[in-house]
Amino acid sequence: MLLNRDNPYYHQLVLLVAILPLVEEEDCFALKGGTAINLFFQDMPRLSVDIDLTYLPIEDRDTSLDAIRNALNRIAARVEKVLKGTSVEVLKDAQENVLKLMIDRQGVRVKVEVSPVLRGSLLAAPPVTMDFPVTL
């Protein structure tokens, strides 16, 4: 996939790559899905512009949801502090659980979402290393 400034996904990808190190500070999460595969294991055959996360600790549901909420709130605060011109909307589900962030910078939006159902991992989550030359 040709990815230059004229590509409609370019600015979303720049924002996504800027957000990833701020998410990585929360070691309770691992990337899953299209973003993890396309950015780190494939040559971006299709582009996903959201960040899907799995909560790694195996805990009871209420404990997990509390920890997810706290971690997402820390990520939201970190993003707004570090990435100038960025706003974060913390979204709740019908039961008032915080499971999603909508991050916006100058009309470019990236969603960060945690699955409340899929928790834990069969294998250890490898660390994310940022090898992308991105200008913020």
Q: What is the pTM of this model?
A: 0.78
Task: For 32-46, write each residue's pLDDT tens digit.
Answer: 876 656 666 555 555
Cα dihedral angle (135, 36, 117, 104), rounded to 10 degrees? 20
Cβ count near 100 (within 10 Å): 16
Task: For 44-98, write each residue's pLDDT tens digit.
Answer: 555 667 898 999 998 888 899 999 999 999 999 999 999 999 999 999 988 888 8
Cα angle, residue 62 at apex, residues 59 and 64 outer, rounded to 5°: 45
* 58 vs 51: CA distance, rounded Å: 21
CB-CB contact of 64 with 119 (8 Å): yes
Both structure tokens of 93: 């589900």
Task: For 58-68, write each residue's pLDDT tens digit.
Answer: 888 889 999 99
Domain ranges of the chain: 10-117
Q: Which candidate, 75, 36, 30, places its Cα nearest to that of 54? A: 30
- Residue that wins the pLDDT comparison between 134 and 37: 37
Per CATH, the number for 10-117 is 3.30.460
